[in-house]
Chain A
């Protein structure tokens, strides 16, 4: 019996090789998640379930609350803008990476990956120091140069949050773009030039559409990370700055209202999933050609 199971696993085929990973995910990820989400639908006080009566009351409360929608809107535009600026900075860099020599490629790659070696929390604190108050790096330089007379207020704003998000999530955009761009067939660009197209046209008609798989990978990752991040808005956005993710944290850890926290977590998760799905579907529409492999 045991031997035959081992046999099945070793010989591969179908589901069996994935069984250990699957088991792990069910026990340590899906079950806790389900329990947490279930908390949104039964009354809980001080961490104990009061009764097993299923109720939509909490969900209804949240969805009819204006405040929730304002907070959600902030989560959304922070996510969208961070993704947009990440793409804007990452694409040219990834493209340049494919044009330069081996050595510069290494430099770009190392500079891209290096930030991942420190924790995101540490980097968020670093942004506090850079953007913060009158003695922050940026203000100090600007004032020393006499460009401004009073320190600029940069911290605790959308600006600070988005700057932090973009810097911290940039590698996740750059890496898939480098992968897809460096494996592209340069002959196609030659063919386009040979047919009379300008370099600009060749870029927009050939290079950009062909890098769609990398663009989709990068944008979904960065959007999901930015939309659900709660450390960066909390630290760089300051006390009054809330996003849905920050609220989940506050309701569950600070206020101890698990019902509302669970509902918010559920909404965050489901909406994030929907957005990722939308990006992927839109991307796939633009990539119908990849299905044509003979």
Chain B
């Protein structure tokens, strides 16, 4: 079911939490909301599910305007950030709850619950109460409780964050299979950029209640539109245009004053130097990451990250004076805004 979010604003008292958020999500698509803590991801998700009413704007599910519809009439599956399992019901009863609401008969209920439990490998926990499960197990129950209803739209608020790395990947793959097979339109929320890059068709990067960019993972990585996006997805060196212009291969490209230039660490190069260079610095730190070396170079009063392959490069010692340049001028993009306040 396609989801259309149009110009949503949300205020909590004086706090302006969502600013003109718009998303247009195709049927069966999986998208991820990515952004720093407190930027409004959960709030946006809650607006779509109906737990929160936007101050202005519209939510359209499958062509129907549901902005004023209560959550129990939207048919949206929701996995809460902190699970929200019913403590007075066993795991199986939790899963059966939504089926009971839909008046599924006993045998259907039993079959579906068992299937869902098997899916999240919790069959032997059917009769336990949620409090006696580990965080990761509770999270899987929460996912199963939403999936057992086969909703047309599934909203997952950091649904994998309590799982260990192995289980997380397994669950993501399983979820992706079901989502594709049933054709569920999915919105995930996460802090984890690798998770976002692996599971989503498109990513919406949010900052301070705004959607900065909504595009495919490669577009987000290769052509970020704001410094915030560049910095949030993958590592990035964000330099003022006039400073970037000092890089020999880059030259005057895009050196308009109000802009910033994003240079990925793998696109920067270093070579030892003795003379005076337009942009020189010293190696402050070096670290081997498998086939490449990562340097931290101090230049022009900032720290730049450089990633070079070890195959065609002798490792440089800390303190070595170096000259900086870029490999491919095309891969450097000009963006608006600054990175202050982001990690």
A residues lining the B interface (CB < 8 Å): 185, 187-188, 190-199, 201, 205-206, 209-210, 212, 287, 289-290, 292-294
Inter-chain contact B80/A197, CB cutoff 8 Å: no
Contacts of B76 in A (CB 8 A): 194
In the complex, what's the smallest C-beta–C-beta distance from B48 to chain A, in angstroms?
11
Q: Which of B72, B98, B134, B149 has the most CB of A within 10 A?
A: B72
Inter-chain contact A289/B87, CB cutoff 8 Å: yes
The yes or no answer to B131 lying at the interface (CB within 8 A) is yes
Inter-chain contact A194/B51, CB cutoff 8 Å: yes
Contacts of A196 in B (CB 8 A): 72, 75, 98, 101-102, 149
Q: Which of A206, A212, A289 has the most CB of B within 10 A?
A: A289
Q: How far is the CA of A187 from the CA of B49 in the complex (A)?
A: 13
Asked if A289 meets B89 with Cβ closer than 8 Å, knowing A191-B78, A194-B49, A196-B72, the reply is yes
Inter-chain contact A194/B71, CB cutoff 8 Å: yes
Asked if A194 meets B77 with Cβ closer than 8 Å, knowing A188-B84, A292-B129, the reply is yes
Q: How far is the CA of A205 from the CA of B96 in the complex (A)?
A: 13
Contacts of B181 in A (CB 8 A): none
Q: How far is the CA of A76 from the CA of B133 in the complex (A)?
A: 43
The yes or no answer to B14 lying at the interface (CB within 8 A) is no
Q: How far is the CA of A287 from the CA of B129 in the complex (A)?
A: 11
Inter-chain contact B149/A294, CB cutoff 8 Å: no
Which of B50, B51, B75, B131 lies in contact with A292, CB distance below 8 A?
B131
Question: How many B residues, CB 8 Å from partner?
Answer: 31
Which of B82, B131, B149 lies in contact with A195, CB distance below 8 A?
B149
Q: What 1/0 flags go to B65-84 for Cβ under 8 Å of A? A: 00000111001111010101
The A interface, classified by DSSP as helix, strand, loop or mixed, is helix
Inter-chain contact B101/A197, CB cutoff 8 Å: yes
In the complex, what's the smallest C-beta–C-beta distance from B99 to chain A, in angstroms?
9
Which of B70, B77, B133 lies in contact with A193, CB distance below 8 A?
B70
Inter-chain contact B101/A191, CB cutoff 8 Å: no
Inter-chain contact B72/A198, CB cutoff 8 Å: yes
Q: What are 11 pairs between A and B in contact, CB < 8 Å?
A: A188-B86, A195-B97, A195-B145, A196-B98, A205-B97, A210-B88, A289-B131, A292-B128, A292-B130, A294-B131, A294-B134
Inter-chain contact B87/A194, CB cutoff 8 Å: no
- In the complex, the chain B residue whose C-beta lies closest to that of A206 is B86
Q: How far is the CA of A290 from the CA of B49 in the complex (A)?
A: 30
Contacts of B129 in A (CB 8 A): 289, 292
B128-185 interface (Cβ within 8 A of A)? 128-134, 145, 149
In the complex, what's the smallest C-beta–C-beta distance from B56 to chain A, in angstroms?
22
- In the complex, the chain B residue whose C-beta lies closest to that of A210 is B88
A-B pairs with lowest CB-CB distance, top 6:
A292-B129, A195-B98, A191-B84, A187-B84, A194-B78, A289-B88
